[in-house]
Chain A
C-alpha cells in the first residue's frame, strides 16, 4: 500500500549493551542495559543468566525510572538542624570521611561495642560483616532478622539448606506443587518462570495463603488459611500420612535421624539428647546385627521403633517413634484443626491423599547411576515428584521457626528433599545441619582496637554458644544470641534503635546503617522509633549520639541521620554477588555475579562498599591495610573483589581464579578476573555433573567435589535433623541443667518452645492481648511490581500503585456496614490507623490485609507534599509493636520468634470499626524537611530525544 508512511523498522537501540545485575529486588537477575548517548535507553533480561533466563519482572523493567529518580542523593551531607528537620549542609567526601573516621576511631579505641553497624538490604554481607569483624564490634547484622531468618534457620538446622536462596522446587520434574505463604515475593522471576512451566505441564499448584492474589490467583486450589496456623495444618497433613501409612521409610532410614536413639531419662542432664558411642556418633539399633551401630555409618536396617536399653542401662527411643506419637495425637487430627485453621477436614485429607498419591504412585525414575555417601552404587535416581516452597507468610510469625521445620518434616516424610521432582538444593548447599559457624562477640572476644576472632553470625548448638556477659545479659545491642533469641542467626535489626535509646542492654555512641528505611516502613512502631531516634538525655544530647547513614535516595530515614554518605544507583556501581554470601546458584550449577558501572554518576556520590573500604583503611583495620599501614585495596571495591582472600585461594568470586584464570573455586587472585566476568555477561556458573545433581546430601561424588571446590567443610553426608538436638540443649538449661542458666522469667518460655520435634503453638500477640478485643488478623503483602524495590518514588510504578486500601472480606464488610472506599479505624494494642477499605472474596474471613510500604511520609522520596502515598497511603507498621505486651513475669520480650528473633510482623491482631469519612489517612505525620532539594519535575518525556533517530 503506497500510502502507508515509511517507518524505520531497524532503528538501533543503543550504542552498546552492558550486561550487569539487577538490584530492583533481592533476586539479582541478569540484565542487558542498552546505553545510548551515555543514557540508559532500555533494560531487558539477560537470556544466558541462570536466575532469570532472559525474562524480567515489572520492577526490573522500570529500572530506568529508579536510576533517574529525582530522589537520588547528590553529595555527602551533615545535619545542621534537629533530627527530622531535614536541614543539612552539603560537604565534600574528604570532610565526610574525616568526620566518620573520627567518630569511629574513638569508639574503636575505647569500647568497640559502642558501634552498632546494621546494613539492611545489603547484598555484600561478606564484605560488610568482614569489615565489622575487623572493627571489632559485636554489633553487626543485615536485615535478615526482620525478613526471613525463620526460613533460613529452620531449613539450615533441619537439612542444611533452605527455601529460596538455598534451594528450589525441581521445576522440570515436579508433578505437585504446594506453596505456603508466598504472595508476590521471594523469589520474583524464578518462581514466575517455574509456575508458568508447571501450569503448562498440567501440574497441580496448591497455594496455602490467607489472600488469593498474585501466585495464589493462578493456583489450581487455594487454601485460605488463618494466619499463623500453617503449622497446625501441616501437622494434620502429617497425621494423615501416618494414618494412611504413606511415608517413605527407606528414605527416612537412609538420610535422616529418624532411627537415632534419644535418651529417655527425665530429669537427667542428658535427657532428650542422642545416645552416643565412644566416638561421639549417634547410635541406632541395627536389626541386621541385633546390636547398636553408628547413625553415621549408613546402617541399612536401623530399627525405627522400639525402646532399647543402652549399655549404661538407661532407656533410649528412636526419633521416629517419638514423631509418630506426636503427629498421631488428637491435637493434629484434621477435624481438630479445621476451625482454628479455617480449613475443612475433608480438604486437608484430600490434599494429604494427593500428596501421597503423587509421591508414591507417580514416582519418577531417572536412568542416572550414582554412588551414595557410603559407597553403594545405585543404577537409577528415584524421584517423588512433590515440591514445596514457603516464605514470608510462614516466616513472619512468632511460631515461624517451628512451622518452617514442620514443612520440612512433611517434605522429608514424603522422601522429596533433593530427589528428582522434589525440592533441590542450590550449591554451595547442602551444608551440614546446621552449618559449622558459631557466633562471635562474647565480651572476652571484644577489646579496643582489636578485631573479633570470628564472624558475628552463626548457628549455636547450645547455651555454650550464646553471646552473654558475665551476668548472663546480652552481649549484643540487639540481644541476638541471648536467652531472648538464642538461635538468632541473622540478628535482630528491628530491635537496635529501641534498645539503643533505652540503653537496654547498653547505650551506644555510633549507629551506622546502610540501605534500610528504619525511620519508616522497615521498623515496627514507627512513632516509637522516631521517638527513639530523637530522644535526648538530661543534657539535651541525643540518646543515640551519632547516626551515619548511607543510601542512594532521600528516604524517610535520611533526615534522622547526622552524616549522610550518598550511595550510587545500581547501574553506577561495582558489586559482588558472592558464594561467600548469598548465592544466586540454581540446582544444576553454582553461580556468582558482579555489578559494574554501566553509566557514570553526574553526582558526587560513591558506592557504599567503596566508602567502607576507604574507611577501613583510614581506621587502619587489619584486613584493610598492609603491614606498613598503607591501604590494602587502593583500587577500591574492584581491587577488593579481585584480591581479597578469605582463605588462601578463596575470594569473593569463584570464577576465573589463578594467574591464568583457569581455576574455579580455589585459586590465586587473577588481575583479569573482572574482565572475564564482564565478558561473560557479569556472572559465572559452575556446573554440577549430572550424576551429582540429586541426593547431594548423601551423594559421594557431589560431597567430595564440594569439599574440593571449597563449598563444604566435610565430605560426610548431611543427615536430616527431624529431631533438632540443639533445641533440647537450651531446654535442658532452662530446666536447670548446666552452668549457663537463663533468667528465671525465661525458663518456661524456653521449655515450651524449644521442642526438638516441630510443633505448633499459637502466635504470641493473639495470646497476650485481651481475649476478643482484637478478633482479626492483619497482614501485608508487597505488590509484585514493588516487592523489595525500596523506592516507590519510581515514576512509572507509582502510576500503578500510589495509595493503598485495606482489603477485607465481604462478610466482614457487611457486618460493620461498609462498602468499597468507606473509611474505617483499625486498632491494635499499640495504636490505630484510619484508612479506606475495599471488599473482596478471596481473603480469609478473619483476616484483613494491605499492600506494604505504599504509604510515604511527606517530604521524602522527592514526592510532592500532596502525593497520594502520604494522603491516602498508610502503613500497618504503626500498629505493630516492637515489644510484646507484658506477659508473665513482667518482662517485655521483643515481638519476635522466641528461637530465632525473627520479627513477627504477621502476628498482628486488630479490631475494625466504621469511621467518619475523611480526606486522608491517619496518622498523618508532619512533613520532613527536604534538605533544600529542588522540586521534582512536573512532567517527563523520557526518550523524546530519540524520536525518529534511527540508525
Chain B
C-alpha cells in the first residue's frame, strides 16, 4: 500500500463554476487531445467507429436536470475529473506505489511504468475519476496537465491545464487552493465554493462554485396613466403623451 506525503507544499487544483458551464465539452475534448499525446499517452479508444465506441477520458461532462418546486428546476452541466484529494484512498490502496500524491504540489498521478492495472484505485475513488485504459493496460487519470503547468517550452500564460486553456465561458480556473490569498481561493470564498461529497472526508482540493441567479430590481412601471384619454381611445391617449413628450424638446 502506498503512503501519502506528510503534507504538500501547495494544493494545486481546479475551481469549476457551475453557474456558467454550458456543457459544451470543450474541457473534455481538449483534455483528451492534450493527454493522448502527453504524459498519459495514449488515451486509447476502443471500437471508435463501431457499435460501442469507448475510450479513456480524464474529464467527462454530465448534463442532467434538477427538478424543483413549481418549475424551479434547472439543467446542470457537471464536469467531473480527479479532485486531487488531500486524503485520497485511491493512492493508499495502490499495491505498487504507482499511484502517488506529489509532495510538491499535491497532484495525484499514476506512474504508468509501475501500474499493474489492478483497478483497486478506481474502486477506491468515490468520484469515478479514474479510467482504466483497456488497450494500454494501465490506469489513467487527470494529471492537472503536469506536463503543461511547469513546461518552459510553453509561453507562461499557457502553463495551465488544457481544460482551463480551452474553456470558452471561463468556467474553469486553476491555482493553489492551499494559499488563501490566491485568486482561486478568493473566488471560492466569495462564491461559496463547495467540496464534492464532503461527507466522505477525502478533502478534495478541486472546488465547485454553485449556480446563482442574477436579477433586476425593476422599479414598477410608471404610474399607469388613464388607459384612454378622457373620451378617447388607448391609442389617442398614447398619442397625447407622445405629443407632450416631444413638445418639450428643443430644436
Contacts and interface: CB of A to CB of B under 8 A. Distances in A.
A796 B225 CA distance: 61
B20 A199 contact: yes
Interface in A927-946: 936-944, 946
A43 interface: yes
Given A324-B238, A328-B234, A938 B29 contact: no
Given A936-B48, A943-B37, A47 B65 contact: no
B171 interface: yes
B97 A3 contact: yes
B54 A799 contact: yes
Interface stretch (B122-130, B200-208, B212-220): B212-220
B47 interface: yes
Given A44-B166, A213-B75, A205 B214 contact: yes
Contact of B170 (A193, A244, A320, A863): A193
A354 B216 CA distance: 6
A218 B19 contact: yes
Contact of A288 (B65, B146, B251): B251
A938 B24 contact: no
Contact of A357 (B5, B65, B171, B216): B216
Interface stretch (B81-89, B150-158, B177-185): B150-158
B242 A249 contact: yes
Given A217-B76, A798-B53, A250 B249 contact: yes
- Majority-rule SS of B interface residues: loop
Contacts of B171: 196
A710 B220 CA distance: 47
Contacts of A58: 24-26, 28-29
Interface string B41-72: 11111111111111101000001010100010
B92 interface: no
Interface in A206-220: 212-218, 220
A203 B214 contact: yes
B26 A56 contact: yes
Interface string A180-211: 00001000110011011101101111000000
A863 B75 CA distance: 32
Contacts, number: 308
A737 to B, nearest CB: 29
A304 B242 contact: yes
Contact of A218 (B21, B73, B150): B21
B48 A940 contact: yes
B234 A200 contact: no
A841 B67 contact: yes
B45 A189 contact: no
Contact of B49 (A57, A215, A862): A862
Given A245-B225, A866-B51, A939 B135 contact: yes
Interface of A: 1, 3-5, 7-13, 36, 41-45, 47, 52, 54-62, 64, 70, 176, 184, 188-189, 192-193, 195-197, 199-200, 202-205, 212-218, 220, 240, 242-246, 249-250, 253, 287-288, 300-301, 303-306, 320-321, 324-325, 328, 349-350, 352-354, 356-358, 361, 784-785, 793, 795-800, 802, 840-842, 862-864, 866-868, 871, 936-944, 946-948, 951
22 contacts: A10-B152, A13-B154, A43-B33, A44-B166, A55-B166, A212-B75, A213-B75, A240-B221, A244-B221, A244-B222, A328-B238, A356-B221, A357-B216, A358-B216, A784-B25, A785-B29, A796-B29, A864-B49, A868-B52, A936-B48, A940-B42, A951-B153
> Which 8 pairs across A and B sit closest by C-beta, in order of nearness?
A58-B25, A943-B37, A192-B168, A196-B169, A936-B49, A217-B75, A357-B218, A795-B48
Given A58-B25, A200-B170, A357-B218, 10 more contacts: A59-B29, A196-B169, A214-B22, A246-B222, A324-B238, A357-B216, A361-B219, A785-B24, A796-B33, A944-B136
